[in-house]
Amino acid sequence: MDAYTVSAEFYDVLQGRDERERAERLFASPARRARSGIVEVGAGSGLVTQVLARAATVPVHAIEPNPAMRALLMSRLAAAPTEHRARVTVHPERVQELWPRQDVPQADLAVCSNVIATLDPGQRHGTWAALARLVGPQGLLLVDPPPCALPEAPRTKVLPQVPVGDDTYSGFLSETPETDHIHLEYTYQVHRDGELLREEREEFDLWPVAGEELRQELADAGWVVCRPSPAAPGRGELLTARVAEHL
């Protein structure tokens, strides 16, 4: 089964509120400063796309290859004000397939939210290379960095409980360290009057990368990391990089 086929139904209801607030805080102001265009990798259900479209005055290229997530994105765009929708072009390819196509104009801001950790090392390297070309000289890259190491032991996180009509949506996430990646299992539950009505599961992998290795692979693709500085890495901070002048 394709990834996100199960999670698409639960994504916004269980993660939407926190993600919307985070997207506003992290991406609205850089989007306002963009001067030629914005590329968003892995737009998903469009929580970040909506913030970008509202804040920006330039075109937004939302890249989303997964049909289930793209359906949520299109639904969000359909409900958006016309002037915001007019700004967003949706690309159904992977970012690595988008460049070197000639019909995507150069942007000056690239945004990767909750996506880089889900890419295996080969896909991640391809993403840095494609973005360095989709974003012009001195263009800015904003990424939430993947975990820098495997967890020491399996752990479980509880997802929020959200009432929808007569039902309560909830779930939990199990994270298990494997040799070179973290195996995630999402369990989603729907309860009515305290009884479990449905339970659904979906599995994903996350690929950790140590900070120095991440800097090196970005440099190999033509990026110069501006933040966090190696001397003072900030917890939860976005990684910020610019395309090197000579690329």
Asked if residue 41 binds ligand SAM (CB under 6 A), the reply is: yes
Neighbours of 94 (CB within 10 A): 18
Nearer Cβ to ligand SAM, position 58 or 69?
Answer: 69
Instruction: Identify which of 133, 98, 86, 114 has the alpha carbon closest to the alpha carbon of residue 18.
Output: 114
Asked if residue 65 binds ligand SAM (CB under 6 A), the reply is: yes
Shortest separation between residue 24's beta carbon and ligand SAM, angstroms: 12
Stretch that binds ligand SAM, among 57-65, 74-82, 205-213, 227-235 (CB under 6 A): 57-65
Nearer Cβ to ligand SAM, position 16 or 177?
Answer: 16
| Interface positions, 8-37, toward ligand SAM (CB under 6 A) | 19
What are 155's two structure tokens? 């752990």
Asked if residue 63 binds ligand SAM (CB under 6 A), the reply is: yes
Q: What is the 3-state secondary structure (H, E, C) of the chain?
A: CCCCCCHHHHHHHHHHHHHHHHHHHHHHHHHHHCCCCEEEECCCCCHHHHHHHHHCCCCEEEECCCHHHHHHHHHHHHCCCHHHHCCEEEECCCHHHHCCCCCCCCEEEEEECCCHHHCCHHHHHHHHHHHHHHEEEEEEEEECCCCCCCCCCCEEEEEEEEEECCEEEEEEEEEEECCCCEEEEEEEEEEECCEEEEEEEEEEEECCCCHHHHHHHHHHCCEEEEECCCCCCCCCCCEEEEECCCC
Asked if residue 44 binds ligand SAM (CB under 6 A), the reply is: yes
Of these, 10, 26, 31, 66, which contacts ligand SAM (CB under 6 A)? 66
Shortest separation between residue 228's beta carbon and ligand SAM, angstroms: 20
Of these, 26, 39, 48, 109, which contacts ligand SAM (CB under 6 A)? 48
Name the residue type at position 3. A
Stretch that binds ligand SAM, among 108-116, 135-143, 172-180, 190-198 (CB under 6 A): 108-116
Nearer Cβ to ligand SAM, position 87 or 94?
Answer: 94
Of these, 55, 69, 88, 243, which contacts ligand SAM (CB under 6 A)? 69
Shortest separation between residue 58's beta carbon and ligand SAM, angstroms: 19
Asked if residue 134 binds ligand SAM (CB under 6 A), the reply is: no
Residues lying near ligand SAM in the complex (CB under 6 A) are found at 4, 19, 41-44, 47-48, 63-66, 69, 94-96, 113-115, 118-119, 123
